[in-house]
Amino acid sequence: MKAEANSKPKHACRNPRQSRERILESALKEFAAKGFAGARVDCIARQARINKRMLYHYFGDKEGLFREVLRRKMAERAAWLASAPEDPIERLPYWFDLAFRDRDWIRLLEWESLQWGEDRIIDEEHRTRAFANANDRIRRLQEKGRLDSDFNSGQLILSMMALTAYPLAFPQLARLATGLAVSDPKFKHQYEKFLRQFAAAFKPGNKNSNAGGKTVK
């Protein structure tokens, strides 16, 4: 309200919203880079240009901050997943591009899996819903005959994530296998092409694709 004509805003005045935002932003960087155990609270606070005490004020403790960072990132990405192109052949390179552009996301997923394994999934409800939608989409494609329906839709999603995220999650292995650094533009080009070839093999009509399907063991 009232304007305070020439009050010098030495501390840029108060702005809890923005402070919170800055903390989350620098926490994302720190956690993505060093993980939970490796991250330094003081470092996050310094980078956010706030006092450490405020960080504890907003997020309780280090783990609370980590969980909040993850929660937000997941929510952000869930929307992206839904926005994939219909064409199954273009979907893989599209997902790869998403992952390529946001390594922090991939790294957070990695830290999450190492820290908590398959139990205690963060923001489980929300993510479960996102996956259910993705499943439905796949099944609709299968019904329309644009995707082979021999495959279990959940497994298909899993394998698609595998193909698009793996080289980014394990860049050292990608380099050993292909001889190219993942950050090399050539790698990106080559891999996207590969993914298209790959997806093409799943167009229905390839009718030997149930070879393994009947019996196992």
Partner DNA sequence: ATTTCAAGTAACTTGACAGTTACTTCGCTT
Partner DNA sequence: AAGCGAAGTAACTGTCAAGTTACTTGAAAT
Q: Which of residues 50-109 bind a copy of itself (CB under 8 A)?
A: 89, 107, 109
What is the footprint of a copy of itself within residues 108-127 (CB under 8 A)? Answer: 109-114, 116-118, 121, 124, 127
139 residue type, one letter: R
Single residue of 42, 118, 119, 125 touching DNA by CB under 7 A: 42
Nearer to a copy of itself, 84 or 157 (CB): 157
Interaction of residue 21 with DNA, rule CB under 7 A: no
Single residue of 16, 38, 64, 85 touching a copy of itself by CB under 8 A: 38
Interaction of residue 15 with DNA, rule CB under 7 A: yes
8 residue type, one letter: K
| 8 A C-beta contact, residue 164 and residue 92 | yes
Min. distance of Cβ 116 from DNA in angstroms?
Answer: 16
In the list a copy of itself, DNA, none, the entry touching 196 (Cβ below 5 to 8 angstroms by class) is a copy of itself
Written as one string, the DSSP assignment of 89-138 is HHHHHHHHHHHHH-HHHHHHHHHHHHHHTTSS-TTHHHHHHHHHHHHHHH
Cα–Cα distance, 13 to 185 (Å, whole number): 44
Interaction of residue 207 with DNA, rule CB under 7 A: no
Cα–Cα distance, 49 to 52 (Å, whole number): 9
| 8 A C-beta contact, residue 31 and residue 39 | yes
Question: Residue 87's closest CA among 25, 137, 22?
Answer: 137
Written as one string, the DSSP assignment of 34-95 is HHHHH--HHHHHHHHTS-HHHHHHHHSSHHHHHHHHHHHHHHHHHHHHHT--SSHHHHHHHH
In the list DNA, a copy of itself, none, the entry touching 128 (Cβ below 5 to 8 angstroms by class) is a copy of itself
Min. distance of Cβ 45 from DNA in angstroms?
Answer: 8
Q: What is the size of the binding site for a copy of itself (CB under 8 A)?
A: 77
Min. distance of Cβ 39 from a copy of itself in angstroms?
Answer: 9
Min. distance of Cβ 209 from DNA in angstroms?
Answer: 51
Contact positions vs DNA (CB under 7 A)? 1-2, 4, 7, 9-11, 13-16, 19, 39-42, 50-54, 56-57, 61-63
